[in-house]
Structure 1
Amino acid sequence: MSDRAGTFDGVHRRNLAKLLGLVHLEGPMSRARLTAETGLNRSTVASLATELVDLGLVEERAPDPTNRVGRPSPVVAVHPDVQVIAVNPEVDAVTVAAVTLDARIVVRERIDVDHLVTPEETAALVADAIARWRGDELAKSRLMGVGLAVPGQVRHSDGLVRWAPHLEWTDAPVRALFEAATGLPTQVANDATLGATAEHLFGVGRGVADLVYLNGGASGIGGGLVVDGRLVGGAHGYAGEFGQNRPGIARADDRRAPDGVLEDEVSRSRLLEAVGRASADEPTLAGLLAASDDPAVADELARQQRILATALANAVNVLNPSLIVLGGFLATLAEWNPAALEAAVAAHALPVASEGLDIRVAELGENRLLIGAAELAFAGLLADPLVDPAIVPLVG
């Protein structure tokens, strides 16, 4: 915001953002509860709620029936037509969705590709999807922007994709390309960072102050960190690249890639190969692995789980989180034999650092990256409901 913190207008804008943020994260809330949560007086909350209604950002509903004495206060909820477009480009597909302010997926499409898409091609695919949806699912929508979850290193200051090795994107001006193609303000960040954001705000990590998130996708393994309740981006936005670390491999016969990094050994493509598939989305791969009675499949799952455990233990020793969240094919690895994974992590980690540690799979499933990308696209609006969506870094 350009207003000084102490000015009336600055305080007013912050109060509007506070109310919008509460219903964004908590869901529909009565005016009475908003009054209690914000510490503002009832008349101020009523005025702020009315202003957000006039802005088209929330709607007020009739209160639920109650036996309590007195007039129940109206319920404030985000307006369902306020939406953003979330995008996750990968080596085998580009997934696009429209997402509401309360993290609800309105429409979602996985566009399978048989080649590595360029940034320009990705922008064109998304612009085409938006154009098709505007005549149907999004006919009444107010699109506020686009958020991209990219499997690579993204400079948070300007959305430049410095290096997405599996997509073969280098120094790609993705933000500018998407804004030109869609006509919508665009924000870009690393996919795993956005997965961590989504799980921290809306998923299994809700309310957890210290967590490590690892995302397993077609392009490898990335990570996101929440420390003391804050998302960690690093100096330029590149923090969390767990997949590029070299894992400790105790068994010599477990190694498949000489001098390889973690994502060379713990790999979605190796799991697909084990079940005889060239590609599959997350639920399909998980189903194929669960249904298989092939000993070779079980051996590969166990091998990858052992190597993953060493990487997780290293993260525990360094960061001492209370929660590790695993998404994508890493969730499938964890669910295959959770007791074995927990025991292996405990065996490699310092006992004091792993006390009380919980290892969970991502609650938001295959939508986690899209919900994280939507959160990025909504950041400007949530920071200041009175201005048009702006490019506001999620981390910094």
Structure 2
Amino acid sequence: MTLPADPQPPAHAAETPGALAGVRVLDLSRVLAGPWCTQTLADLGADVIKIERPPGQRHPGGDDTRGWGPPFLKDRDGHDTAEAAYYLGANRNKRSVTVDIATPAGQALIRRLAAQCDVFVENYKVGDMARYGLDATTLLQLNPRLVYCSVTGFGQTGPYRERAGYDYAIQGLGGLMSITGERDDLPGGGPQKVGVAVADLFTGMYATVAILAALRHRDATGQGQAIDMALLDTQVAMLANMGANYLASEVTPRRAGNAHQNIVPYQVFEAADGHLILAVGNDSQFAKFCDVAGLPHLAADPRFAKNADRVRHRDTLVPLLAGTMRGRSKHDWLSALEAAKVPCGAINDLAEVFSDPHVLARGMVSQVPHPHTDALRLVASPMKLSATPPTVRRPPPLLGQHTDEVLAEFGLDAAACQALRDEGAI
């Protein structure tokens, strides 16, 4: 099957080599945590080769997220393609190569590629890579400079290591849902997941940091290493102040809705025409807020003057503020509070986010050409580097789009590729 060549990249994409130019990543990860990591590496200039399952009788092939829609990317005629928005959001700047790693020829091909790569990322279940001869021990013997990163739900060790790991279950098991959602004694109370797969995303970002650290070590010593990333470990780590609160007090925190466990007032309030966020972070800001609200006596009240006292008297203070907040519009509050330098914010839906002048000014929406459309819009990388900024050099690839191109770079000619196709390996 002949696939289209890459469309011309944006003019700015070739201006400056990325910070990771020259780093080659072999990416055997799927869905979100692994692809989020490798997309970040790709944004920074690494050459990421995404290995995907070829189409077969029982599977359409490729990363499962290609089919996780609607919505799907629309082509130039306005028709849905096979590229789900979910997939597009985690796979820019990569090249797609189809390899069936369940075949001996496919396994041998992956070993050949790994011998010439800097980084290997996989998120298969514990033991799968060893069965294929693609585990860290095997590949590090083949390429001692390789940085091998495994991403699993529970890690390579421990009693849960063989369990499959899914973000939703990890948010529950790792404690996040016990502190997310409205209070149990209020309407709508109960456990709530976060609106995006934060355990996956954080694991992808921690994996990126670990890989960069391992590359630094490799460049200094010549020695590669294995990295064992687990969603549950990451979820426990990202409990942050809530985890620290428990370890310091052994008091189990409960859900607090939109309120903050350690700061008051730091929550959503209802205004006359909607809701806004008030995020008072210190006593000085509380005094400024009280002036804006026409409640200067509250800042002098010993029950509320210090944050620790406001936390202790939360149930008295918040209803007093809530009544006042409902007396003015969102715009009035936001304008007055911003002028007084009291932290506050609107609660935007995504249409408002992606039309916000500041979001647009910061370049958080990028438009790139794609084989199916001239106007693929993607969320941009948030990293702003002055000398080596991230760029979008390639749109998310079609399935197998770069198979022949990449294999040729590793020394396989057209005849060798055809032989692999005949064996069902690619």
Q: Same fold (TM over 0.5)?
A: no
TM range (shorter): under 0.3
Q: Which entry has the higher C-alpha Rg, 1 or 2?
A: 2
Greater relative contact order (Cα < 8 A, sep 6+): 2
